[in-house]
Structure 1
Amino acid sequence: MSVLGVEGEERDDFSNTESKQIRQRSLRLLGSLLRPVRGQVVLTLVVVVLSTAAQVAGPALIAIGLDTGLPALLAQDWMPLSLTVVAYLVTGAAGAVLIAQYTVLSARISQAILIDLRKRVFLHTQKLSLEFHESYTSGRIISRQTSDLDSIRELLDSGINQLVQGSLYLVFIAGALFLTDWVSGLILMVSLVPLLVLTRWFQIRSQRLFRLSRVASARLIVKFVESMTGIRAVKAFRTEKQNQKEFGGLVEDYRDVNGRVIQLFGIFDPGLVLIGNVTVAAVLLVGGFRVADGQLAIGALLAALLYARRFFDPMEEMAMFYNSYQSAAAALEKISGVLEEEPSVPDPAKPVDLWHAQGTVAFEGAEFAYTKDRVILPEFSLRMPAGQTIALVGSTGAGKSTLAKLIARFYDPTKGRVTLDGIDLRELHPKDLRRAIVMVTQEAYLFSGTVADNIAIGKPDASLEEIQAAARAVGADAFIQGLPNGYDTDVNKRGGRVSAGQRQLISFARAFLADPVVLILDEATSSLDIPSERLVQEGLQTLLADRTAVIIAHRLSTVAIADRVLVMEHGRIVEDGTPADLIGGTGRFAQLHAAWRDSLV
Structure 2
Amino acid sequence: MSTATVEGTSGEDRSDYTREESRAIRRRSLRLLGSLVSPLKWQLVLAATILVVSTALRVAGPALIAYGLNTALPAVVDRMDWMPTIGVVVVYLITAMGGAALIGWYVVVTARLTQAIMLDLRKRIFLHTQRLSLEFHESYTSGRIISRQTSDLDTIRELLDGGLNELVSGILYGGFTLIALLLLDWRSGVVLIVMGLPLYLLMRWFYTRSQRVYRESRVISAKVIVKFVETMTGIRAVKAFRKEARNDNEFGELASDYRDINMRSIRLFGTFEPGLMAVASVSLAVVVFWGGVRIEPGVYEIGTLIAAVLYVRNFFAPLQEVAFFLNSYQSATAALEKVSGVLEEEPTVPDPVSPVDLWESRGHIHFDGVRFGYGSGKTILPDFTLDIPAGQTIALVGTTGAGKSTLAKLVSRFYDPTRGRVTLDGIDLRQLHPKDLRRAIVMVTQEAYLFSGTVADNIAFGKPDATMDEIRAAARAVGAEAFIEALPDGYDTDVNKRGGRVSAGQRQLISFARAFLANPAVLILDEATASLDMPSERQIQDALQTLLADRTAIIIAHRLSTVAIADRVLVMEHGEIIEDDTPAALIAGTGKFSQLHAAWRESLV
Report the number of matched residues.
Answer: 601
- Show the counterpart of 2:69: 66
Indicate yes or no: 2:223 matched with 1:219: yes
What residue identity is the alignment partner of 1:424?
D
- Contact 2:412–2:441 (Cα < 8 Å) also in 1: yes
- Show the counterpart of 1:156: 160
Tell me: CA distance 1:131–1:574, structure 2 relative to 1, closer, same or farther (3 Å): same
How far 1:77 sits from its partner (Å)? 2.1
Indicate yes or no: 2:380 matched with 1:376: yes
- Show the counterpart of 1:519: 523
Indicate yes or no: 2:404 matched with 1:437: no
Aligned partners of 2:400 and 2:374: how far apart in 1?
A: 18
How far 1:483 sits from its partner (Å)? 0.5
Q: CA offsets per residue over residues 187-235 of structure 1, 9 Å max, x none? A: 1111111111111111111111011111110110010011011111001
How far 1:495 sits from its partner (Å)? 11
Indicate yes or no: 2:30 matched with 1:12: no
The equivalences for 1:17-36 within 5 A come to: 17-36=20-39
Tell me: CA distance 1:254–1:436, structure 2 relative to 1, closer, same or farther (3 Å): same
Aligned partners of 1:200 and 1:161: how far apart in 2?
A: 20
Aligned partners of 2:375 and 2:432: how far apart in 1?
A: 26
- Show the counterpart of 2:512: 508
- Show the counterpart of 2:267: 263
The equivalences for 1:398-409 within 5 A come to: 398-409=402-413
Indicate yes or no: 2:554 matched with 1:550: yes
How far 1:85 sits from its partner (Å)? 0.9
Counterpart secondary structure, 2:337: helix
Indicate yes or no: 2:239 matched with 1:235: yes
Aligned partners of 2:432 and 2:280: how far apart in 1?
A: 68
What residue identity is the alignment partner of 2:383?
E
Counterpart secondary structure, 1:497: coil
Aligned partners of 1:415 and 1:440: how far apart in 2?
A: 26
- Contact 1:446–1:493 (Cα < 8 Å) also in 2: no
What residue identity is the alignment partner of 2:413?
R
Indicate yes or no: 2:343 matched with 1:332: no
- Show the counterpart of 2:597: 593
Q: Given the two structures, how large is their TM-score scaled by the length of structure 2? A: 0.98
Indicate yes or no: 2:588 matched with 1:584: yes
- Contact 1:445–1:495 (Cα < 8 Å) also in 2: no
Indicate yes or no: 2:281 matched with 1:249: no
- Contact 2:351–2:434 (Cα < 8 Å) also in 1: yes
Tell me: CA distance 1:293–1:87, structure 2 relative to 1, closer, same or farther (3 Å): closer
Counterpart secondary structure, 1:567: strand
Q: CA offsets per residue over residues 523-550 of structure 1, 9 Å max, x none? A: 0000001110011111111111110000
What residue identity is the alignment partner of 1:137?
T
Q: Which one is further off, 4-13 or 34-43?
A: 4-13
Tell me: CA distance 1:495–1:144, structure 2 relative to 1, closer, same or farther (3 Å): farther
What residue identity is the alignment partner of 1:37?
L
Q: In structure 2, which of residues 30, 46, 53 is the aligned counterpart of residue 43 of structure 1?
A: 46
Aligned partners of 1:597 and 1:344: how far apart in 2?
A: 43
- Show the counterpart of 2:534: 530
Aligned partners of 2:183 and 2:437: how far apart in 1?
A: 72
Counterpart secondary structure, 1:561: coil
Aligned partners of 2:190 and 2:499: how far apart in 1?
A: 71
Aligned partners of 1:289 and 1:372: how far apart in 2?
A: 77
How far 1:65 sits from its partner (Å)? 1.1
- Contact 1:448–1:494 (Cα < 8 Å) also in 2: no
- Show the counterpart of 1:113: 117
Indicate yes or no: 2:60 matched with 1:57: yes
Q: CA offsets per residue over residues 87-117 of structure 1, 9 Å max, x none? A: 1011011101100110000000011000000
Aligned partners of 1:166 and 1:461: how far apart in 2?
A: 55
Aligned partners of 2:479 and 2:498: how far apart in 1?
A: 21
Aligned partners of 2:276 and 2:565: how far apart in 1?
A: 80
Tell me: CA distance 1:188–1:101, structure 2 relative to 1, closer, same or farther (3 Å): same
Aligned partners of 1:214 and 1:276: how far apart in 2?
A: 32
- Show the counterpart of 1:97: 101
Indicate yes or no: 2:200 matched with 1:196: yes
- Show the counterpart of 2:543: 539
Counterpart secondary structure, 2:380: strand
The equivalences for 1:475-514 within 5 A come to: 475-492=479-496, 497-514=501-518
What residue identity is the alignment partner of 1:157?
D
Aligned partners of 2:263 and 2:466: how far apart in 1?
A: 56
Counterpart secondary structure, 2:195: helix
How far 1:381 sits from its partner (Å)? 1.2
What residue identity is the alignment partner of 1:284?
V
- Show the counterpart of 1:184: 188
Counterpart secondary structure, 2:564: helix
Aligned partners of 2:498 and 2:415: how far apart in 1?
A: 26
Q: CA offsets per residue over residues 470-500 of structure 1, 9 Å max, x none? A: 0000000000000011001110189971000
Tell me: CA distance 1:373–1:273, structure 2 relative to 1, closer, same or farther (3 Å): closer
Aligned partners of 2:568 and 2:61: how far apart in 1?
A: 89
Counterpart secondary structure, 1:352: coil
Indicate yes or no: 2:279 matched with 1:275: yes
Aligned partners of 1:209 and 1:36: how far apart in 2?
A: 33
Q: In structure 1, which of residues 67, 80, 83 is the aligned counterpart of residue 87 of structure 2?
A: 83
Aligned partners of 2:499 and 2:557: how far apart in 1?
A: 23
- Show the counterpart of 1:308: 312
How far 1:366 sits from its partner (Å)? 1.1
How far 1:7 sits from its partner (Å)? 2.3
Counterpart secondary structure, 2:198: helix
- Contact 2:216–2:261 (Cα < 8 Å) also in 1: yes
How far 1:372 sits from its partner (Å)? 5.8
Aligned partners of 2:56 and 2:322: how far apart in 1?
A: 19
Indicate yes or no: 2:365 matched with 1:361: yes
What residue identity is the alignment partner of 2:18?
S
How far 1:410 sits from its partner (Å)? 0.5
- Contact 1:366–1:379 (Cα < 8 Å) also in 2: yes
What is the CA RMSD across the aligned residues, in angstroms? 1.3
Overall identity of the aligned pairs, in %? 69
What residue identity is the alignment partner of 2:45?
V
Q: In structure 1, which of residues 456, 459, 473 is the aligned counterpart of residue 460 of structure 2?
A: 456
Aligned partners of 1:292 and 1:372: how far apart in 2?
A: 82
Aligned partners of 2:595 and 2:478: how far apart in 1?
A: 31
Counterpart secondary structure, 1:115: helix
Q: CA offsets per residue over residues 294-320 of structure 1, 9 Å max, x none? A: 641111111001001111111111101
Counterpart secondary structure, 1:312: helix
How far 1:292 sits from its partner (Å)? 4.4
Tell me: CA distance 1:64–1:187, structure 2 relative to 1, closer, same or farther (3 Å): same
Counterpart secondary structure, 2:524: strand
What residue identity is the alignment partner of 2:226?
V
Tell me: CA distance 1:3–1:238, structure 2 relative to 1, closer, same or farther (3 Å): farther
How far 1:9 sits from its partner (Å)? 2.8
Any stretches of 5+ residues in structure 1 without a counterpart?
none
How far 1:587 sits from its partner (Å)? 0.7
Aligned partners of 2:557 and 2:113: how far apart in 1?
A: 54
Tell me: CA distance 1:325–1:467, structure 2 relative to 1, closer, same or farther (3 Å): same
Aligned partners of 1:308 and 1:580: how far apart in 2?
A: 95
What residue identity is the alignment partner of 2:323?
A
- Contact 2:569–2:583 (Cα < 8 Å) also in 1: yes
Q: Given the two structures, how large is their TM-score scaled by the length of structure 1? A: 0.98
Counterpart secondary structure, 1:118: helix
- Contact 1:495–1:503 (Cα < 8 Å) also in 2: no
Q: CA offsets per residue over residues 52-105 of structure 1, 9 Å max, x none? A: 001110000111111111122231322211111111011011101100110000
